[in-house]
Structure 1
């Protein structure tokens, strides 16, 4: 009986996490779509905004994308002149990805959109709850690696 209750709680937690993630992503996607950008592209732009250049494996990890999906996304971003690839000067086997000036402009413009949506989300949820949820999810993610 206790095992059934535990399994039920785990399903409920999974469902709740999925529900919240889908609602948050839906809101952010709607905001980004107006700027001709997907969530995945936004994640890539936001990582590359530091100007240091990043390897594909690092970008895939950050954007939570499988490598083949990321490769297709980067190809599209290269075609739209938002990013470019360059061989790493210190390790010629690696390719680094950087923002182009157009990609930097896109990131700057969309940063305001993302900030606005984040503020609306925090207002809807409440700043204390948002901070608590962020802290809890950070701890849980660290424990589950």
Structure 2
């Protein structure tokens, strides 16, 4: 194992994503769908570009996922009232209910991380990671 920061961050990301995916599996929701609902819960409507950036999903993949979610009644598309050429995505009532049911899964993961580090270290890590992202 290497101590390079990039490797450690990537390894931790894979571990956290795998853990979250496993915990979402009983609800029948792939992590990408959960992330889309999470982005929309934080504020909607959102453009496809905004969702792609915030949910860390490539745009072509996002389009396919949103198409399926639309067919399942979890989200819907609407024209941007300020620019009719732009499409916005919003959460349908079934999508809101699904996210509400599953929100505790990621909240519990967050709490497990904070518990392992203690609150001060978790706050410091969050700050350091935000600094690196800028």
Counterpart for residue 100 of structure 2: 108
Alignment gaps of 5+ in structure 2: none
Structure 1 or 2, whichever has the larger Rg, is: 1
Counterpart for residue 75 of structure 1: 67
Number of residues paired by the alignment? 133
Counterpart for residue 109 of structure 2: 117
Say if 2:30 is the partner of 1:42.
no
Secondary structure at the counterpart of residue 85 of structure 2: coil
User: Which structure's residues are more often strand, by fraction?
Assistant: 2
- 1:83·1:97 contact (CA, 8 Å) conserved in 2? yes
- 1:47·1:59 contact (CA, 8 Å) conserved in 2? yes
Counterpart for residue 89 of structure 2: 97
Q: Match for 1:23 among 6, 15, 19? A: 15
Runs of 4+ in 1 over 3 A off after TM superposition: none
- Alpha-carbon distance in 2 for matches of 1:113, 1:17: 22
Following TM superposition, by how much is the alpha carbon of 1:126 offset from its aligned partner in structure 2, in angstroms? 2.8
- Alpha-carbon distance in 2 for matches of 1:50, 1:121: 21
Secondary structure at the counterpart of residue 27 of structure 1: helix
TM-score norm. by structure 2 comes to 0.90
The RMSD of aligned alpha carbons is 1.7
